[in-house]
Chain A
Amino acid sequence: MTTVEALGTRPVNPVARLLTALLIAGGLVLSVDWVSALTALVLELVLFFAVGARLRPVLTRAAVLAVAAALTAVTILLYGQSSGTVHWHFLLITVSDGSIALALATFLRVLAIALPSVILFADVDPTELADGLGQVLKLPARFVLGALAGLRLVGLLGQDWQYLGYARRARGVADHARLRRVAGQSFALLVFAVRRGSKLATAMEARGFGAHRSRTWARPSPFAGREFALVTAGFVITAVAIATSVTAGSWNFIGAQ
């Protein structure tokens, strides 16, 4: 039923997942080298299985990311800054030792930064994230719930778009050029969105939203041992990756060229 009753096997708080992914990304964007990226990647995989991620979704998501990362790497391989031995040259394309190293580093880095977000964060329920943002990070309820309720409106706007299209056709004004029609309809949708937004705000106030300075939360958003453990793991991964890279002498701080 509700998460309240599922306390025994509750998932890790989305806020902790968010923080972990941000920590790792924050550390890894500082340098472009393959050592730190590879170290982080290996440690991340250990972390995923330690927190009980299932193999199948990890592999599918990693595969999709690998394709994206590979495409980025190929671009860098062909057009990236060249240095060292040039292996192949054709028009603007230059493949050199430097660009090979850079491409490899980029490939690993994209994976290392994106995987934690995708594995830890992709199936987070927006409602539970809102619970966490409000209770753990103490963000203002007005902001958190406004965003959450607004998210629900996006689905309704899809229906509105459909009906606006029917209305235009039924009212005899849908024979215009497609571009003009879409422009007009988009404007109408914007008007609808604003109206829906203000109706939603009224409906929220009609149920006492903002009447008290503080509110309670129906669902707890626990932030305890496992959450701290996850965030710590994120911190350790980042620290170890940077330390290894610095020790190996391959750390190149992005601003330091």
Chain B
Amino acid sequence: MNVLRAHAQVSTDAVRSVGAAVTARGWGWQHATRANWVVRDLDLSIAPGERVLLLGPSGAGKSTLLHGIAGLLGGAEEGRQAGQLHVDDAPPAERRSRIGMVLQDPDSQVILSRVGDDVAFGMENFGVPREQIWPRVRQALDAVGLNVPLSQHTSKLSGGQKQRLALAGVIAMHPGLILLDEPTANLDPAGVIEVRDAIVESARKTGATLIVIEHRTDVWLPVIDRVIVLGADGAVIADGTPDDTIRREHDYLVRSGVWVPDTPLPEIPRRRFEDDRALLHAAELGLGYRGDEPLHTGLDLAIRRGRTTVITGPNGAGKSTLALTLGGLLRPPVGRLTADAALAPPRSRREPVRWRSKELLTRIGSVFQDPEHQFLTGTVRDELSLGPRALNRNATEIDACTDELLQRLRLQHVADANPYTLSGGEKRRLSVATVLATGPAVIVLDEPTFGQDRRTWEELIRLLADVADAGTAIVAVTHDLDFTALLADTRIELPAWQTATETTS
């Protein structure tokens, strides 16, 4: 409460901003590299101070629209614009001094190397006088629950902390228009509510207009005034009060992959594979990168054929490091990870980290947390055929396998596109498909459902269940509780391991 009162005091000192209005008339946008319009014939009008939740299927151009409103789409070399988009009766690029936006990827949101400077950055750009900057930095950090010293290095923050940092930076600016693209995807459930309340409180105090994109609607519905639903071609198909719109468009939203509140979890039928012998054995295993202190010591676990093993644990517990170690990519600093004799290429080399790269392809596949790290070629089709070609399979076999995967993972329409240009859901499906292409005996996935819409989420769970039931060992590292509940045959909780970042001011 003290925090809120202090905040109110300062914002009266500051120039009180008034919310910005947003209007679009027949607006559209086409990326220079794509044949189709991402957004087309869009008409909408958002009044100052309104709080809007923007919904729609993956690839409906929600992010593009938000970038457009923020004036960040760039000029003619980036793409083609149709119609008109205005913020307060001028093109957004001329109104950037009224707009603060938080983008999707928290990693690329960090701008400066100290926490305090990073929060101050936006205010400096807005020309906020120096004596107001530092109090506002502290209040914003307090409000989003990031309790670290101002001099803390931003590179030491976890994904969730980086997201809070970016939000603090925008709140502190007191913009007339706050634009948020999936602002809470990286936060734990308690953090989501805390951060949401901080944003809404800030918007209420300054009168700012708020536009949010978020798949997980249950968090935002209670605090917003209006829901706008975009169709697959980027036009508005529903617009109204939250309860009304959600009720009316319920089926479309569910089909579009929006997490509509109170939708029951799907049933995942399983026919478990009979043979469940252990393919990988960890004994007295420690985790860590070369030269660092080991994270954990003395881990013992077995990865079984045809079974799903889900590994959970708090941020910084070493989940990703464990995934890399199980994937045969990172040498454990202590202990041993050994493969079943039948799986090891020659019996003398039982440790996956000693296998050749090609030998890994049919034995252990890894799906990384950031799908972009997975991609090595220029088109989706090449990406899928890369593994089979490395194994010298014949051309007809490769084509058949690629076509089947394209169809199974709904990627035919982007077969010739560059993997980097796909939507988040498509990238995730492609990264899983690249691993399936060579049919490894073990598949290790790092946060496979992170940032996915409900449709991709459910597809992934069904796919992984099928793959496991066909005799593959699935290992997934995640903090998605629903995913764990639906899929885990075995659940391993990796306890917290002391981290250096948890210091307080």
A binds B: yes
Nearest B residue to A149, CB-CB: B111
Is the pair A170, B329 in contact by a Cβ cutoff of 8 Å? yes
Q: Give the shortest distance, in Å, between B443 (CB) and chain A (any CB).
A: 11
Is the pair A2, B151 in contact by a Cβ cutoff of 8 Å? yes
Partner among A163, A196, A202, A204 whose Cβ is within 8 Å of the Cβ of B373: A163
The answer to the question of A188 belonging to the interface, with a C-beta cut-off of 8 Å to chain B, is: yes
Is the pair B72, A166 in contact by a Cβ cutoff of 8 Å? no
Binds A, one of B305-313, B360-368, B450-458: B360-368
Is the pair A149, B112 in contact by a Cβ cutoff of 8 Å? yes
Interface size class of A (residues with CB under 8 A): 35 or more
The answer to the question of B37 belonging to the interface, with a C-beta cut-off of 8 Å to chain A, is: no
Q: Give the shortest distance, in Å, between B473 (CB) and chain A (any CB).
A: 16
Is the pair A170, B365 in contact by a Cβ cutoff of 8 Å? yes
Complex Cα–Cα for A166 and B175 (A)? 42
Q: Give the shortest distance, in Å, between A115 (CB) and chain B (any CB).
A: 28
Is the pair A164, B373 in contact by a Cβ cutoff of 8 Å? yes
Binds A, one of B27-35, B38-46, B117-125: B117-125
Is the pair B373, A167 in contact by a Cβ cutoff of 8 Å? yes
The answer to the question of B36 belonging to the interface, with a C-beta cut-off of 8 Å to chain A, is: no
Q: List residues of chain B with CB within 8 A of the CB of A66.
A: none
Chain A 156-172 against B: per-residue CB contact (8 Å), 1 yes, 0 no? 10001011101111111
Interface residues of A in 177-231 (CB under 8 A from B): 188, 195-196, 199-200, 202-212, 214-220
The answer to the question of B186 belonging to the interface, with a C-beta cut-off of 8 Å to chain A, is: no
The answer to the question of A65 belonging to the interface, with a C-beta cut-off of 8 Å to chain B, is: no
The answer to the question of A1 belonging to the interface, with a C-beta cut-off of 8 Å to chain B, is: yes
The answer to the question of A92 belonging to the interface, with a C-beta cut-off of 8 Å to chain B, is: no
Nearest B residue to A202, CB-CB: B72
Is the pair B114, A127 in contact by a Cβ cutoff of 8 Å? yes
Is the pair A167, B127 in contact by a Cβ cutoff of 8 Å? no
Complex Cα–Cα for A111 and B46 (A)? 66
Given A170-B366, A205-B96, the answer on whether A216 and B111 have CB atoms closer than 8 Å is no
Partner among A1, A126, A156, A202 whose Cβ is within 8 Å of the Cβ of B151: A1
Is the pair B173, A208 in contact by a Cβ cutoff of 8 Å? yes
Complex Cα–Cα for A215 and B133 (A)? 12
Which secondary structure dominates chain A's binding surface? helix
Q: How many residue-residue contacts, CB under 8 A, span A and B? A: 172
The answer to the question of A243 belonging to the interface, with a C-beta cut-off of 8 Å to chain B, is: no
Is the pair B391, A172 in contact by a Cβ cutoff of 8 Å? yes
Q: List residues of chain A with CB within 8 A of the CB of B391.
A: 172
Q: List residues of chain B with CB within 8 A of the CB of A167.
A: 368, 373-376
Given A152-B155, A163-B373, the answer on whether A203 and B103 have CB atoms closer than 8 Å is yes
Given A172-B390, A218-B130, the answer on whether A204 and B111 have CB atoms closer than 8 Å is yes
Partner among A173, A174, A199 whose Cβ is within 8 Å of the Cβ of B386: A173
Is the pair B373, A208 in contact by a Cβ cutoff of 8 Å? no
Q: List residues of chain A with CB within 8 A of the CB of B179.
A: 206
Is the pair B373, A168 in contact by a Cβ cutoff of 8 Å? no
Q: Give the shortest distance, in Å, between A124 (CB) and chain B (any CB).
A: 14
Partner among B114, B130, B370 whose Cβ is within 8 Å of the Cβ of A217: B130
Q: Give the shortest distance, in Å, between A98 (CB) and chain B (any CB).
A: 49
Interface size class of B (residues with CB under 8 A): 35 or more
Partner among A151, A171, A172, A207 whose Cβ is within 8 Å of the Cβ of B121: A207
The answer to the question of B100 belonging to the interface, with a C-beta cut-off of 8 Å to chain A, is: yes
Complex Cα–Cα for A175 and B391 (A)? 12
Is the pair A202, B368 in contact by a Cβ cutoff of 8 Å? no
The answer to the question of A255 belonging to the interface, with a C-beta cut-off of 8 Å to chain B, is: no
Is the pair A169, B329 in contact by a Cβ cutoff of 8 Å? yes
Complex Cα–Cα for A122 and B159 (A)? 32
Is the pair A199, B108 in contact by a Cβ cutoff of 8 Å? yes
* B125, B170, B376 pick with most chain A CB within 10 angstroms: B125
Chain A 2-30 against B: per-residue CB contact (8 Å), 1 yes, 0 no? 10100000000000000000000000000
Q: List residues of chain A with CB within 8 A of the CB of B438.
A: 172
Q: List residues of chain B with CB within 8 A of the CB of A200.
A: 108, 111
The answer to the question of A249 belonging to the interface, with a C-beta cut-off of 8 Å to chain B, is: no
The answer to the question of A155 belonging to the interface, with a C-beta cut-off of 8 Å to chain B, is: yes
Interface residues of B in 122-149 (CB under 8 A from A): 122-130, 133-134, 137, 149
Is the pair A206, B327 in contact by a Cβ cutoff of 8 Å? no
Is the pair B134, A207 in contact by a Cβ cutoff of 8 Å? no
Given A2-B150, A169-B329, the answer on whether A152 and B113 have CB atoms closer than 8 Å is yes
The answer to the question of B467 belonging to the interface, with a C-beta cut-off of 8 Å to chain A, is: no
Is the pair B133, A216 in contact by a Cβ cutoff of 8 Å? yes
The answer to the question of B116 belonging to the interface, with a C-beta cut-off of 8 Å to chain A, is: yes
Complex Cα–Cα for A208 and B122 (A)? 6
The answer to the question of B61 belonging to the interface, with a C-beta cut-off of 8 Å to chain A, is: no
Complex Cα–Cα for A160 and B375 (A)? 13
The answer to the question of A233 belonging to the interface, with a C-beta cut-off of 8 Å to chain B, is: no
Q: List residues of chain B with CB within 8 A of the CB of A164.
A: 373
Given A163-B368, A207-B169, A211-B97, the answer on whether A216 and B129 have CB atoms closer than 8 Å is yes
Ranked nearest first, the 3 interchain pairs of A and B with the lowest CB-CB distance are A174-B357, A207-B122, A211-B96
Can you list 16 A-B contacts (CB < 8 A)? A2-B134, A2-B150, A152-B111, A166-B327, A167-B368, A169-B357, A171-B357, A171-B390, A172-B386, A175-B357, A206-B102, A207-B169, A208-B175, A211-B96, A215-B126, A220-B130
Interface residues of A (CB under 8 A from B): 1-2, 4, 126-127, 148-149, 151-152, 155-156, 160, 162-164, 166-175, 188, 195-196, 199-200, 202-212, 214-220
Known: A172-B358, A206-B101. 7 other contacts (CB 8 A): A166-B327, A168-B376, A169-B328, A171-B387, A173-B390, A203-B103, A204-B121
